[in-house]
Structure 1
Amino acid sequence: MSNGMFIDITGLRERDPMRSPGVWSCKNNHRYRTDELWPLRRTDFEGVEAWIPYAFDKVLTDEYGPKSLVTEEWAGHRWKPELREWVKLPKKETLKKQSPKKEQYILKEDENVVIVYEEVIVEV
Structure 2
Amino acid sequence: MRWRTLVALVFALWSAVAALPSPDDAKTQSAHGVYTDPTLKDPLWWKYGLNATAEYKYFHEPGRDDILGHYDSRYFTGPVDDAERADVLTHMIRAYLDFFSENGLETWIAHGTLLGWWWNGKILPWDWDMDTQVPDTTLAYLADNYNQTIITYISTGTGKKRDYILDINPWSRQRERGQGHNIIDARWIDIYTGLYIDITGLSQLEPDHLDIWQCKNFHKYRLKDIYPLRWTTFEGVPAKVPFQYDSMLMEEYSETALTLTRFHNHTWFPHLAEWISDEALANLTIKLPEDRQYK
Shorter chain as normaliser: what TM range?
Answer: 0.5 to 0.7
The equivalences for 1:85-100 within 5 A come to 85-88=275-278
Which residue is 2:203 aligned to?
14
Q: What does the per-residue CA deviation read over 1:78-113, in whole Å, with 9 as the maximum and x for residues that have no partner?
A: 235659444158xxxxxxxxxxxxxxxxxxxx6xxx
Q: Distance in 2 between matches of 1:76 and 1:84?
A: 13
Classify the secondary structure of the residue corresponding to 1:9. Answer: strand
1:51 aligns with 2:51: no
Which stretch of the first structure deviates more once superposed, 9-18 or 33-42?
9-18
Q: Distance in 1 between matches of 2:122 and 2:202?
A: 25
Kept after mapping to 2: 8 A contact 1:23/1:31: yes
**Poorly superposed stretches of 4+, deviation over 4 Å:** 80-86
Classify the secondary structure of the residue corresponding to 1:67. Answer: helix
Q: Distance in 1 between matches of 2:120 and 2:278?
A: 16
The equivalences for 1:23-102 within 5 A come to 23-79=212-268, 82=272, 84-88=274-278
- Name the aligned partner's letter for residue 64 of structure 1: Y
Q: TM-score, normalised by structure 1?
A: 0.57
Kept after mapping to 1: 8 A contact 2:231/2:238: yes
Select the structure of larger CA radius of gyration: 2
Q: Distance in 2 between matches of 1:49 and 1:71?
A: 27
Q: From the two aligned structures, give the one with the greater strand fraction.
A: 1
Kept after mapping to 2: 8 A contact 1:4/1:84: no
Q: What does the per-residue CA deviation read over 1:51-77, in whole Å, with 9 as the maximum and x for residues that have no partner?
A: 000000000011111122232222343
Equivalenced residue count is 91
Q: Once the two structures are aligned, what percentage of the paired residues are identical? A: 31
Kept after mapping to 1: 8 A contact 2:267/2:276: yes
Q: Distance in 1 between matches of 2:232 and 2:273?
A: 23
Q: From the two aligned structures, give the one with the greater helix fraction.
A: 2
Q: Distance in 1 between matches of 2:225 and 2:207?
A: 19
Structure 1 unaligned segments of length 5 or more: list them.
90-109, 111-124
Kept after mapping to 2: 8 A contact 1:14/1:22: no
Structure 2 unaligned segments of length 5 or more: list them.
1-89, 91-118, 124-129, 134-199, 283-295
- Change in Cα spacing, 1:86 to 1:23, as seen in structure 2 (3 Å) is farther
